[in-house]
Copies of this chain bind each other. A is one copy, B any other.
Amino acid sequence: MMALSNPSPAALHSTALEREALALEYRRVRRFSEELARPLQVEDMVIQSMPDVSPTKWHLAHVSWFFETFVLAAAGAEYQPHHPQYGYLFNSYYEALGPRHCRPRRGLLSRPTVAETFAYRRHVDDAMARLLESAGARRLARIWPIILLGLNHEQQHQELMLTDVKHVLAQNPLRPAYFARADSPAASAPPPAWFQFHGGLHSFGYSRPHDLDPLGFEFAYDNEEPVHRRYLESFALASRPVTGGEFIDFIRDGGYNQPALWLSDGWAAARENQWSAPLYWHEEEGEWRQFTLLGDRPVDPHEPVTHVSYYEADAFARWAGARLPTEFEWELAARPLPLDGNFVESGAFHPRSDGAALDEPSRRLHQMFGDVWEWTASPYAGYPGYQPAPGALGEYNGKFMCNQMVLRGGSCATAQSHIRPTYRNFFPPAARWQFSGLRLAKDA
């Protein structure tokens, strides 16, 4: 990824100020992981409810392992790993780093305990603090981009901590809330409007600033590069995401029972898994309810629908006489917009209806960032000229470029500082446990 290029001479003149800024950002991101764990009981942090889900304490340890392995151990012989087997236990998928604990068995590990996991975090954080204080300019320039990557990596796992523990709690007939809080008053969603975009040859992808400060916080993943041109036909994009109410209409119209609306693989997945509504939805005496991080509550017809698979998003779009946008259509539309929305910092932990939009339904695109990740029609593939980073860190993105679809825009579980218009998230088309929703598009 971009951050792993050689340090330029300028980077060698690091100042105490920059050192301090990085240490501060490190502490900020690390502390937020622990804050997210605070509402949980020890027992909640141990469980793996399906192979895709990892226990909270595994997340907390794995992100620490990342710094231990790629920064501390790489930085020199003076670092003592906290435990000789944690490398085995907390490597997620880096084949280059040797064997590792099998993913679907993460929930079988009672040890290290939660307390030991936090001790591991402190051990790493202390060593990182010492390193940041003591590193010479050359070393700082070398580790800077890796630390930046590590912090972004931890932010990704913060989002997974929330979506994973939601899945864990949802298995429980007691339906415990992650965070108990009174609901905010519901607002109405505006009627959807269509925005037109002109086709033509456009540039896409992350454009690294020429004067990139090597000791700054500007960041993008390797899969957002290189910048390249694509020819788009003219298209239209809906002013807001599809809502829960619209999805109820789809269900009532028999959307889950009409094979003509579905991709072949989608129809098979829906039959096999007996899908008849988004994940976490259940019908009770004629009312659609959903399990949320705030507990069980009615589906708000005005909030963006979430926890739908690509297959459901695609079927809905077909039912609505529209289609999903490509990731490039989405990026073109999102580029000029301000980076605000309902992110994890709002503490809502759930998509919200965008009440403010009532006043101005047709003036601008709403909720492009935050609330729900938006499935696009684009299979996840490398951009022309894409090159993964060398070594173990190169396993970050490229090796997943098959059988996955791109999602854009971030969700209510994403950190605001983590997202940008070129950001490419990706999941297999049957995945439903992320905060994934959709926005309609059509040919102009």
A173 and B384: CB pair below 8 A?
no
If A47-B46, A95-B259, A400-B264 touch, whether A172 touches B231 (CB-CB below 8 Å) is no
A112 and B201: CB pair below 8 A?
no
Minimum Cβ distance to chain B for residue A407 (Å): 15
**What would 18 more interface pairs be, CB under 8 Å, given A44-B111, A111-B176, A260-B394?**
A41-B110, A41-B111, A42-B43, A43-B113, A47-B107, A95-B259, A96-B259, A108-B168, A108-B172, A201-B231, A228-B233, A263-B401, A265-B402, A266-B402, A310-B402, A314-B402, A378-B381, A379-B379
Minimum Cβ distance to chain B for residue A74 (Å): 18
A95 and B231: CB pair below 8 A?
no
Contacts of A77 in B (CB 8 A): none
Q: How far is the CA of A101 from the CA of B266 in the complex (A)?
A: 19
Contacts of A169 in B (CB 8 A): 110
| Interface of chain A, main secondary structure | mixed
B231 and A230: CB pair below 8 A?
yes
Q: Assembly of this chain: how many copies? A: 4
Q: How far is the CA of A231 from the CA of B265 in the complex (A)?
A: 30
Contacts of A173 in B (CB 8 A): 85, 88-89, 101
- Closest B residue to A310 by beta carbon equals B402
**Interface mask (A220-237 → B, CB under 8 Å = 1, otherwise 0):** 000000001111110000
- Closest B residue to A115 by beta carbon equals B41
- Closest B residue to A379 by beta carbon equals B379
Instruction: Identify A41's interface contact among B41, B113, B171, CB under 8 A.
Output: B113
- Closest B residue to A117 by beta carbon equals B43
- Closest B residue to A258 by beta carbon equals B95
B49 and A46: CB pair below 8 A?
no
- Closest B residue to A50 by beta carbon equals B108
Minimum Cβ distance to chain B for residue A320 (Å): 16
B267 and A402: CB pair below 8 A?
no
